[in-house]
Amino acid sequence: MNILARLVVLVLLLVPVIPLSVQADDDLAAVRKRLEQRFTDLTISDLRAAPIPGLYELTFGSRIVLVTGDGRYLIQGDLIDLESRRNLTQEQHSKLILKSIEAIGEKNMVVIGPANAKRTITVFTDVDCPYCARLHQEVPKLNKAGVKVRYLLYPRAGKGSETYKKSVSVWCAKDRIKALGAAKSGGKIEPRTCANPVDEHLKLGAEVGVEGTPTLVFDDGRIVPGFAPADKLLAALGLANGEKTAAPQ
């Protein structure tokens, strides 16, 4: 059974068990209170009514689920509008990811590319990841086509690992771009420590759902896991063959 069929079945099963009083009388404040009582260890980032009567879109971090107004039932999956063929959950998820990335700010990223870039790619990168190194070799082509690349340091081995320490050293180097290139090519970089955003990058990656590196996030919210050559990335961004596509507003 495909995802659309599963979603329809779930909705048909759930709707009859939602009390009419809940559908008619619940407001967001009351629903939020019930959910906070049920999910005591969860910080609710956002709550809004879903397009389906009696269901609510619950956001925590960068994750989105659907819940009934009484807080009893939860649906984990994508909500798709069959008329417009739009994945409503994915659209909202993309907005949340972009908001979280922009909250970190470029001052806390390793940025390579023109200030007046046509498009922007944000990359979760591990300095010891072979495919990340291959992607880094494609950056000059991306820059030449008007794409700015913003790196978030994401040591997959976690905090305290050698890769983590190397990531911190890259950030603390006098020339971060040069140090990043050296680290990715297997060169030696001087061990350094300083105030750094690596923990923040790790936290964001966990919220986004990064499972491997590199993980790319386009400026329209699309997530591209794994390596892809510059030509394919440019085509995906609408910049193939010299096209000049502006970043989405």
Tokens of 126: 């591990």
Rounded CA-CA distance 54/12 in Å is: 12
Strands 86-87 and 80-81: antiparallel
Q: Which of 34, 119, 128, 129 is catalytic?
A: 129
Tokens of 224: 């591209």
Rounded CA-CA distance 150/133 in Å is: 15
Q: Which of 34, 132, 150, 219 is catalytic?
A: 132
126 among known catalytic residues:
yes
231 among known catalytic residues:
no
Inter-CA distances, 1 with 4, 9, 52, 142, 222, Å? 8, 10, 22, 40, 26
32 among known catalytic residues:
no
Rounded CA-CA distance 39/161 in Å is: 33
Q: Which of 126, 128, 150, 219 is catalytic?
A: 126
Strands 63-68 and 55-60: antiparallel
132 among known catalytic residues:
yes
Active-site positions? Answer: 126, 129, 132, 156
